Amino acid sequence: MNSTNKNVLCVGEALIDVVTRGRKASEHVGGSPFNVAAGLAGLDHPTSLASWWGDDARGHLIERAAAEHGLTVIEGSNRAERTSVAQATIDESGSATYEFDLLWDVPPLPSPTEFSHLHVGSIGATLEPGGTAVIAAVKRAAIQGTVSYDPNLRPAIMKRPSLVKSRVEQIVGYCDVVKASDEDLEWLYPDTPVEEVMRRWAAMGPALIIVTRGPWGSYARLSGDRDMLMVDALDVEVVDTVGAGDSFMAGLLSGLLDADLLGSAAAKAELRRVRWSDVQPALHRGVITSGLTVSQAGAYAPSRREVENVLIAQPLLR
């Protein structure tokens, strides 16, 4: 279905990743919510970004990247004292570790009547003073539209699970779709199996919960189904894993928007009635987009045409 009339608002950090591979360092625009926004725009969904960066050289780099991806930037996103930086070190397996220098607040947001779906996540959902504004936006959006969340937890910033767990669970309770990684859950709930966390979160209110497990694929749980689904990852040669989870989220949301399972009060209700066959195409789109991303260096945002090319080659993913 055509979902081009469904405007998505992503709220959260956009920053500069200083990526070090061996002795070489390079700067790239990043931040989980920015990556999700870029991924959705690349899949032809009208997408706006509300973030917090400086009116400086690195902030201008973010603005150029946003324009190149076709994002609408919410006015006031460039009023930070300086642009935040994440130092990402890539090891021999392609995995990234991070250190951060961050400032975070939220510019004035549009009314929920001006967008149909809100996506929030990562540092911006918990770091103050902006985190309080994020949860307020989630509460407003949940009344008449749909909301998604990716905790994308960063222990280097969040320090201890006890400092962020109540905020994470509060947002989960207002959401329709939640995606987390197994590493997120292992840090937040160190003594609890992933499957049990998914059951707990499902009881809080989300209709669909996904836990990504890197090369081992993903687990998915529907609130209206007793069984959990396992979704295989795409078999690709991994260059690095930067942005893989964000790309999965963008593909998943894209598929759900196209299926009219996000973007309205009616979609919110319908998502709680669906069966696996209704959401598998969206899950597979997330698998495809994340697979395409890890096969490239950096947080690559695949196009809808690239996704279609994979589906032609692998029709079981439809």
List the chain domain ranges.
8-317
pLDDT tens-digit readout, 92-115: 776 777 788 999 999 999 999 999
21 forms beta bridges with 24, 90
Dihedral sign, CA of 129, 62, 142, 193? negative
Q: Return the pLDDT at 103.
A: 95
The model's pTM is 0.91
Q: Return the pLDDT at 240.
A: 66
Q: Return the pLDDT at 25.
A: 82
Q: Return the pLDDT at 3.
A: 46
pLDDT at position 2 over 50: no
Q: Return the pLDDT at 243.
A: 77
Q: Write out the two tokens for 274.
A: 């669906």
Q: Which fold has domain 8-317?
A: UDP-N-acetylmuramoyl-L-alanine:D-glutamate ligase (3.40.1190)
pLDDT at position 140 over 70: yes
Residue 143: Cβ-neighbour burial (10 angstroms; 0-12, 13-18, 19+): exposed
Looking at residue 71, its amino acid is L
pLDDT at position 5 over 70: no
**Average pLDDT value for the chain:** 91
User: Which has the minimum average pLDDT: 65-79, 227-241, 274-288?
Assistant: 227-241
Ramachandran class of 205: left when φ > 0, alpha when ψ lies in -120 to 50, beta otherwise: left
pLDDT at position 1 over 60: no
Q: Return the pLDDT at 156.
A: 82
pLDDT band at 139 (very low <50, low <70, confident <90, very high): very high
Question: How far apart (Å, rounded) are the C-alpha atoms in residues 215 and 165?
Answer: 26
Count how many residues are written for the chain. 318
